[in-house]
Structure 1
Amino acid sequence: MATLDSVPPELLIKIFKSTLPTPTTREEALEMDKKPVPLFDQEPWGLVRVCGRWRAVVLNTPGMWAVLSMSIPAHKAPGPWVTYPIALLKEHISRAGQHPLRITLLSDELPGFTTKTIFRTIVDSCARWETLDLVSECSLPMHSLLRMRNNIPLLREVNICAHCEESYLGQNIFEFAPSLQLVRITGSGTRSNASRHKAYNQGRILSGGSSFLWPDWREPKLELDAIFPWAQLTHYESDFTHPCHFDALCRAEKLVVCQATVAVLNRDVDWSPRSQLVHFMHLRTLKLDLWPGSLLDCLVLPALQELFIGVNPTHFHHVVALVRRSQCSLRKFWIRAEPDHPAHYREILAANPDIVELGLMGCDNVDSIIRALRIDAPDLLVPHLVTFYINEKVGIDMIAVLEMVKGRIGSGLRRLCIMAWLRGFPEDARARLWELEEMGLQVQFTAEDEQMDGFGASRLSEHL
């Protein structure tokens, strides 16, 4: 019988690499209340303590040291800055040799002594960074951030939720990142309502509405600086509200996925969208909350498959025009607005019969759509519907919605997600939800009280 001592080093390395920390998901990055896992309780540190052979294999394999995942909790006595082994962190980085690095630094620490010390340490290796996940409640030192400028040739993916000590001075840190393709920018305001309330009570919410990547959009002067190499980006997401997001979108013609919030107010007199059509031949997923809807009039998206859009009701016809102009074939369609004419819903659905996921969020009058979605309707729309989301509002006939869903179970509908005010949800509708589950439908019910109304749509949208 073979023993571990007889396993070839090449096979050991494959086994060992499977134990390394996995990339941090967005949800994990935004939820800082979990018990942190120190870097030195993770692999490969545990492997080197097993036996001499394993130690030799691990120490001689730079790829085993290419993942650094660090989590710094909120201040608890004694402060983490007292005990954090910076010397071992430097040793970890050194052992990786010239191997590309995947860096994760999640910090809920204020005032941030340990976070800043760790960041100063790891930024010395930024020339070898391949991915960067950076979530920090404390302000990062500007001089350390500036060391990254023109010195991140391998950086391919950036996920950031952080501020710096001097606000907008870091705008061009990523301007010359020749390998950068994926960017996600998240603000501290995107954390869950409960987490933000807890943090606020503890005095741990930062003031200000900008990050070191984007200025405060309320300033009088609005202009787009070369914050990223837009022309090469394939994936861009931002939770900051800013008019310049639209300019950025028009520059990044290789985009496959785009998510942003665009707000242009009347006082932004110096800003206007492009007058010529911009064609995105590769864009498959577009998620935009925007004002006004006329911003969509310069876009052509022939490859679009997933559309999540939020507009003022009077601007809904711009969404219809976008879909008509692009001649795309939607697979997922979410809308968070009531159209100025109910026929606009029907036009989009009739032109995209291959929709498998439909979401109606924040709409007060969708009865005509519900009737058209019934399986016995002569003008059946989206016959291949598999997943249906609805944000229940006062005025929606929820019984009619559930009857439509019940009639579609045999035609392929498999999942129903409802966001509703629990106190206003009809008792007879709750009973029918149980009935639908008994029929094999996957039902997800999320209750929101009136104080949390408005957060539901963005939370459900992450199921896309």
Structure 2
Amino acid sequence: MENGLVECNEDDKEYHKITKPTRSLYVTTQKPHRLAENWIKINDSKIDILRLVTLPVEITTEIFHQLPLEVGYKTGFYMDMDTAPVSLTAVCRSWRGIALSAPTLWSTMEICFDDIPSTVVAKPGMVESFINQWLGRSGECPLFLTFTLPHEDHFPISRLRAILHQHAQRVRYLELNLGEYQPIRPLELHTLPFPLLQAANVHCDFRVEDRVFDNAPQLHSLHVRGYSAVAPHRFHLPWQQLTIFEGSIHNLDLFVVAPNLVNIKCGWAGGDSNPGMITHSCIKSFAVTDSAYDKILQYLTLPALQHLDLSEGDTYDFLGSFLERSSPPLISLRVQADDPAFAQWHQALVHVAATLEDIEISYASTEAMTSLLSLGERPWASPPWRTLNVLRNIKTLRLPHVVDPVGLYQLVKFLYSRSDKLRSFQLVWDASPFLDERPRAGAPGTPDTEDTIVGHFSRLQAAGMDIYVGTRVKNYAVTIE
């Protein structure tokens, strides 16, 4: 550790010597009846490992370069054999050489500075040396960095600032988790050139007149989290070049200062309630992360909207007028359908009937399910009957968080009626209504036993109870043979 990045083993013997205490501890913690089973699995896997390590170097190198290394895997300050790319270097000498010469493997780093022992932090330059050695192996590859520093008293923010200043020229993705109450200003991000930066995720406290990313010409995606909601008039960013935004807002200035937004996901933190009508011609995907979506939609017109997510909402008073006003080519919609919500939004579907292909309806009540699966056998009934009948182009229908039982015969008839267009259907109960549900139950004075519903019926029958649960032609309470 004190020499920076931990070098991997020179040969297999050294590797086994280093990992022997860990493996011994693992063995002693296993139950005896599992040891033989585990060793069989290990021996069987040797054949597959041998095939991998004997591949030509060119093929192995290409495989390493194609690894889907996403932001979020931990580098750590100690050798972790489960962490890429260190795990690759520990297989054998050949893989070690290939991994150390594959720069893309070393271009991603995630560090939580609070997890670094204070004895290490106290040694000047040790943390920085580790970071420099790791990223130094990445050559000229763009960097994907995630730094977490919720408490400045453990690792001075001035040292994090120096790290960012050193590597800013190569950063393509930057995530800074400073906590809700730690300001971002001390990092002086507005003074840094970020010529490659395309996406940033910032969790911090924003103060009046804070400036960030003034010199990031390619920045187009921003995710902002913190105690304070974003107010564009006091938080200086290259708003006009943003195409993706996620964060809380307390007014609708964002829709004015960021005219090129295409994808937005936001929450409402309160603020101005009547800004006047705003038209935004570029937004194609819009999601609201809390129930106060009406504070936003009632003042917006989004004629290019294709994807609308209001699944966190519990009232939909303004949805109909919004869709009628915007007349968007809406492709996908996510809403809730408990009784009050369903009564508010179901009639609004007529405004997007020609284009809607994908709909997700959460928490559908019994009334909503009856309406959704209706085939129109009640022509005398007024809406909400036949809710989906107007949506003839639906290809995907998802019904998550269903609470009440559903008439399966009616469901089958509905699916057949839509089989010419419907390609994907999903209905998910919060609790299984089927006989394969596995609850724990038992007679008074006896331990509860986990079993299927049918299994519990059978146990009761075996104990002498006469049970019939089923249809006129079949009893599902099967007796144990």
Normalization by structure 1: what TM-score?
Answer: 0.62
2:426 counterpart (408, 415, 429): 415
Q: 1:136 to 1:409 in 2, by over 3 A?
A: farther
1:349 shift after superposition: 5.3
Compute the displacement of 1:72 (Å).
5.1
Name which of 9, 16, 33 aligns with 2:64.
16
Q: 2:196 aligns with which of 145, 151, 154?
A: 154
C-alpha distance in 2, partners of 1:135/1:433?
44
Give the distance between the partners of 2:426 and 2:52, measured in 1 at CA: 48
Query: 1:332 deviation in Å?
Result: 2.8
Note the alpha carbon deviations across 1:389-408, whole angstroms, 9 max, x for none. 35578xxxx34687765654
Q: Which residue of 2 aligns with 1:69?
A: 110
1:376-395 aligned at under 5 Å gives the runs 376-378=375-377, 379=386, 380-382=389-391, 384=394, 386-389=396-399
CA 1:293–1:122: 2 relative to 1, 3 Å = closer
Query: What displacement does 1:320 show?
Result: 1.1
2:478 is matched with none
Is this contact kept in 2: 1:135–1:162, CA < 8 A? Answer: yes
Alignment match, 2:360 = 358
2:318 is matched with 318
Larger displacement relative to structure 2 (154-163 or 42-51): 42-51
Q: Indicate the residue corresponding to 2:57 in structure 1.
A: 7
Structure 2 residue 240 is the aligned partner of structure 1 residue 231: yes
Q: How far apart are the structure 1 equivalents of 2:436 and 2:99?
A: 54
Distance 2:94 2:313 in 1: 62
Q: 1:168 and 2:175 equivalent?
A: no
Structure 1 gap segments, 5+ residues each: 29-34, 188-208, 216-221, 423-428, 439-464
The 3-state SS of whatever aligns with 1:113 is coil
| Matching of residues 259-298 of structure 1 within 5 Å | 259-265=265-271, 268=272, 272-280=274-282, 283-287=284-288, 289=290, 290=292, 292-293=294-295, 295-298=297-300
Given that 1:112 and 1:138 are in contact with CA atoms closer than 8 Å, whether structure 2 keeps it comes out as no
Deviations 1:132-165 (A, max 9, x none): 12334486675652045342121101122334xx
Q: Larger Rg: 1 or 2?
A: 2
Deviation at 1:40, TM superposition (A): 5.3
What percentage of residue pairs aligned between the two structures are identical? 16
2:340 and 2:200 map into 1 onto residues whose CA distance is 36
The aligned residue for residue 131 of structure 2 is: 89
Alpha-carbon deviation of 1:125? 0.7
Alpha carbons of structure 1 residues 7 and 146: separation in structure 2 relative to 1, 3 Å: same
Superposed displacement of residue 433, structure 1: 9.3
Aligned to 1:430: 433
Is this contact kept in 1: 2:198–2:218, CA < 8 A? Answer: yes
Separation of aligned partners in 1, 2:269 and 2:102: 49
> How far 1:373 sits from its partner (Å)?
1.3
Q: Contact 1:293 / 1:319 at 8 angstroms: preserved in 2?
A: no
CA distance, structure 2, for counterparts of residue 108 and residue 385 of structure 1: 45
Greater relative contact order structure (CA < 8 Å, 6+ sep): 1
Uncovered stretches (5+) of structure 2, i.e. residues with no partner: 1-50, 378-385, 438-451, 453-481
Contact 2:183 2:204 in 1 (8 A): no
Counterpart code for 2:268: V
- After TM superposition, the structure 1 = structure 2 runs for residues 75-224 of structure 1, keeping only pairs within 5 Å, are 81=121, 85-106=127-148, 112-113=154-155, 117=159, 120-137=162-179, 142=184, 145-147=187-189, 149-163=191-205, 167-168=206-207, 171-187=210-226, 209-210=227-228, 214=229, 224=233
Q: What is the CA-CA distance between 1:232 and the residue it aligns to?
A: 1.9
Q: Which amino acid aligns with 1:16?
A: F
Query: Cα–Cα, structure 1 residues 73 and 389, in superposed 2: closer, same or farther, change >3 Å?
Result: farther
User: Which of 243, 247, 272 is 2:250 aligned to?
Assistant: 243
Paired residues of 1:36 and 1:73 also in contact (CA < 8 A): no
CA offset digits 1:195-254 (Å, max 9, x no partner): xxxxxxxxxxxxxx32xxx56xxxxxx76235332222221111x3x313x221333333
Tell me if the contact between 2:172 and 2:196 (Cα under 8 Å) persists in the aligned partners: yes
Code of the aligned partner of 1:230:
W
**Count of residue pairs the alignment pairs up:** 366
Q: Render the CA deviation track for 1:269-314: whole Å, top value 9, x for unaligned.
A: xx7424453322x51343364365465333223342333266674x
* Residue type at the aligned position of 2:370: R
Instruction: Supply the RMSD in Å over aligned alpha carbons.
Output: 4.5
What is the TM-score with the length of structure 2 in the denominator?
0.60
The aligned amino acid for 2:131 is L
Counterparts of 2:152 and 2:410 in 1: how far apart (Å)? 51
Hey, what's the Cα distance between the residues in 2 that align with 1:53 and 1:158? 36
Contact 1:20 1:44 survives alignment (8 Å):
no
Note the C-alpha offset of 1:326: 2.7
> Are the structure 2 counterparts of residues 156 and 294 from structure 1 closer, same or farther at C-alpha, using a change threshold of 3 Å?
closer
